[in-house]
């Protein structure tokens, strides 16, 4: 097996392995297993997910996005910011681009480390989900921002048992069979939200979640608690800026802006993909 060239990047602490697979050298049937092995922390590269850049007939490129558990999902906000910068620096696309995802086309604009992406429009927005509530929960809402998110308003984000409650919500029958991501938030002002997220597929809390930041901003705007642009403070401490338009009951032009970091470039060897 040849060594696989990759970049390690993160968006606000949400980290990814990015592989240029436009030549098809990694077959589709091998992707999930590669992701499972490469995302193991301590024994391999370690990451929240893997992005395979592929060809598109309609747009600058396409991607296949896999969470750390080897499952392919439609969308990842922070991953989309990272792949836009990757594509720009590798000459795959210009500073403004559109790429193909399972959630539909995603457009991005790269300005140095700062990347702004046009997110999929929110769907299935539902306030006050009918579910048994923990005494620490003020409100429970749901929205799909490319992937499903339940958004729970709590009194103290910093001290909240995110992993325990997030895992319970992720597998709750109300969100079966596909499950959901779980965001625990506190509104700090009319343009500021603090957020922590338990991510489906990573099966743990992550340092940031782009689609979760969008979900939190959309839900809070629907409740009249914030107005755009909304700053969402992630677990890493970095801020994601969510801007959007709302006309009546419809949201449009949902943009997410945040920084990206190139950690290193490397070659993934066969030994890192063997089972321990």
Per annotation, catalytic residue among 39, 76, 88, 220: 76
76 is an active site residue:
yes
Residues 6+ apart with CB under 8 A from 14: 48, 76, 78, 79, 206, 207, 208, 209, 210
- Label residues 8-41 b or e (16+ Cβ within 10 Å = b): bbbbbbbbbbbbbbeeeebeeeebbebbbbbbbe
Cα 212 to Cα 273: distance, rounded to the nearest angstrom = 30
Determine contact, residues 234/57, Cβ cutoff 8 Å.
no
Per annotation, catalytic residue among 39, 82, 84, 209: 209
User: Residue 199 burial (CB < 10 Å; 0-12/13-18/19+)?
Assistant: buried
Cα 96 to Cα 150: distance, rounded to the nearest angstrom = 31
What is the 8-class DSSP label of residue 2? P
209 is an active site residue:
yes
Cα–Cα–Cα angle for 161, 165, 166, rounded to 5 degrees? 105
Cα–Cα–Cα angle for 149, 207, 99, rounded to 5 degrees? 65
Tell me the two tokens of residue 88: 């720009």
Residues annotated as catalytic (active site), given as ranges: 76, 209
């Amino acid at each position: 097996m040849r060594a696989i060239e990759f970049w390690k990047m993160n968006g606000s602490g949400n980290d990814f392995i990015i592989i240029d697979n436009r030549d098809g050298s990694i077959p589709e049937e091998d992707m999930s297993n590669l992701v499972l092995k490469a995302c193991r922390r301590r024994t391999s590269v370690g990451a929240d997910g893997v992005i395979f850049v592929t060809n598109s007939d309609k747009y600058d490129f396409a991607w296949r996005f896999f969470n750390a558990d080897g499952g392919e999902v439609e969308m990842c906000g922070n991953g989309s910011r990272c792949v836009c910068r990757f594509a720009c620096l590798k000459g795959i696309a210009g500073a403004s681009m559109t790429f193909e995802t399972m959630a539909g086309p995603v457009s991005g604009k790269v300005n140095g480390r700062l990347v702004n992406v046009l997110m999929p429009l929110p769907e299935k927005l539902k306030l006050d989900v009918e579910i048994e509530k923990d005494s620490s929960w003020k409100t429970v809402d749901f929205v799909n921002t490319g992937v499903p998110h339940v958004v729970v308003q709590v009194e103290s984000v910093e001290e909240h048992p995110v992993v325990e409650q997030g895992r319970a919500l992720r597998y709750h029958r109300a969100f079966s069979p596909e499950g959901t991501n779980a965001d625990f938030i506190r509104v700090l002002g009319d343009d500021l939200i603090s957020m922590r997220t338990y991510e489906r597929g990573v099966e743990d809390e992550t340092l940031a979640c782009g689609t979760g930041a969008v979900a939190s901003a959309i839900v809070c705007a629907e409740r009249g608690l914030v107005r755009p642009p909304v700053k969402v403070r992630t677990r890493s401490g970095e801020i994601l800026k969510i801007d959007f338009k709302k006309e009546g009951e419809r949201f449009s032009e949902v943009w997410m802006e945040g920084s990206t970091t190139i950690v290193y470039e490397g070659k993934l060897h066969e030994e890192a993909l063997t089972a321990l």
